Structure 1
Amino acid sequence: MPTDKENPETIIGLYQRHADAWDRDRRAELITERAWMDRFTALLQPGASILDIGCGSGQPIAKYLIERGYKVTGVDSSPPLIEKCRARFPNNEWIVADMRALSLNKTFDALIAWDSFFHLSHDAQRAMFPIFKQHANDGAPLLFTTGPEHRVAMGEFHGEPLYHASLSIQEYRELLSSQGFSVIANTIEDPECGGHTVWLAQCLSVG
């Protein structure tokens, strides 16, 4: 059983209470993420639809995509962060929703879960892969970040515990394959991307 501090259920409340602080701390432009974002968008047609899962306040990830002409739909469990997205990018769709129960009844040309999916528990992460598939068009790339090995890693944000978890690299590969995603690239603790463990996969199966 997790301790009170090692509890993924605290994440939603944390990002509601500290939305303004998180937004202030988050830079508006891409720096280390740019190479992965460019690799991701190289797989897309102009004007492609993108589902940003755990979009935060829309910066820098959604901002980068919107400025390049993509149609971004953002999902986040924090109403204050979604309100910031709506104020900044009113021509895009922003939805308050828990990614663990996401069911939008539509599919997208690409999906991204950058620095969001890893706040879920191990079991909740496993359950996300059918959700990714449910929202992916055939050929859709999926870009997401994880930890480097099976573990729980606790951080801190404004004096509160910040939960992160990861499955093993092999299990992520198996989960992707089970839903028809082929791994294009995976770098563990990429030194050129701030130590992120990054996955780029593509949905290759229909149905």
Structure 2
Amino acid sequence: MDQSNGYEQIATAFITYRGQNAYGIGASSVRKWAQGLLPGATVLDLGCGTGIPVSKVLIDEGMTVYGVDASPSLVNAFKQNFTDAPVACEPVEHSLFFNRKFDAIIAWGLLFLLPEKTQASIILKAAKALRTGGKFLFTAPDVEAAWNDVMTGQRSVSLGSDRYKALLAEAGLSLVNEFEDEGENHYYDAVRV
């Protein structure tokens, strides 16, 4: 059973078209966010894929990065790109990394690929895995919507801004900012209070 939401089946195409551009969409937004973290902060990259551009930006900014992704092919690419960064091949919602504490957690292009209950569970797990003052950044459309993922054809669901804000608050996270990048990806920037 494919636990990667279709990404293992399209891993070669993903790596070719989206997993090698260190300056891809979102890189500048992630860099700006990372610059607000303390030097050497420990960051968990949920749905890390190949690690490019998100993990690369974080590592370039001096962060210690842990990655998790359910696609064996994407995890192998991550290992090749970042030989010293710990990475686990497992579904994000079952990641053992949530048993650790992190200064920050990022989920770029991931949550909306998952069912609503799984999204809520990940937000709660992320909150519990953050140190007090820890930051959580994720992307998801600000409108409630459902569509088929362009690459995998699988169903994607945005819960919408109001629902994401409620889930963050329920998890003990305070939303500090919402913004969009050059690719019109909508970001939720929260902190554990």
The TM-score, its normalising length taken from structure 1, stands at: 0.85
> Which whole-Å deviations, capped at 9, do the CAs of 1:90-139 have from their partners, x for residues lacking one?
11101011112223221111000000111001121122221111211111
2:68 to 65, 75, 95: 75
**2:191 alignment counterpart:** 202
1:109 to 103, 119, 136: 103
What SS is found at the alignment partner of 2:8? helix
Separation of aligned partners in 1, 2:37 and 2:154: 33
1:64 to 57, 67, 77: 57
What SS is found at the alignment partner of 1:151? strand
Instruction: Find out whether 1:174 has 2:191 as its counterpart.
Output: no
2:17 to 25, 38, 54: 25
Deviation of 1:168 after TM superposition, in Å, equals 2.2
**1:85 alignment counterpart:** 78
Deviation of 1:145 after TM superposition, in Å, equals 0.4
Deviation of 1:162 after TM superposition, in Å, equals 3.3
Structure 2 residue ranges without an equivalent (≥5): none
Structure 1 residues 96-105 or 138-147, which shifts more? 96-105
Which letter maps to 1:120? L
Separation of aligned partners in 2, 1:165 and 1:14: 15
Instruction: Find out whether 1:47 has 2:40 as its counterpart.
Output: yes
**1:153 alignment counterpart:** 147
User: How many aligned residue pairs are there?
Assistant: 191
CA gap of 1:67–1:35, structure 2 versus 1, over 3 A, is closer
Structure 1 residue ranges without an equivalent (≥5): 1-8
Deviation of 1:31 after TM superposition, in Å, equals 4.4
> Which whole-Å deviations, capped at 9, do the CAs of 1:55-93 have from their partners, x for residues lacking one?
001111101111222100000000110011111111110
Query: What is the identity percentage for the equivalent residue pairs of Structure 1 and Structure 2?
Result: 26
Structure 1 residues 96-105 or 43-52, which shifts more? 96-105
Deviation of 1:11 after TM superposition, in Å, equals 6.8
Separation of aligned partners in 2, 1:177 and 1:58: 29
Which letter maps to 2:75? I
Given that residues 165 and 175 in structure 2 are in contact (C-alpha distance below 8 angstroms), is that contact kept between their aligned partners in structure 1?
yes
Separation of aligned partners in 2, 1:31 and 1:138: 31
Given that residues 19 and 81 in structure 1 are in contact (C-alpha distance below 8 angstroms), is that contact kept between their aligned partners in structure 2?
yes
Deviation of 1:25 after TM superposition, in Å, equals 0.5
2:182 to 171, 174, 193: 193
What SS is found at the alignment partner of 2:50? coil
Deviation of 1:177 after TM superposition, in Å, equals 0.9
Deviation of 1:146 after TM superposition, in Å, equals 0.6
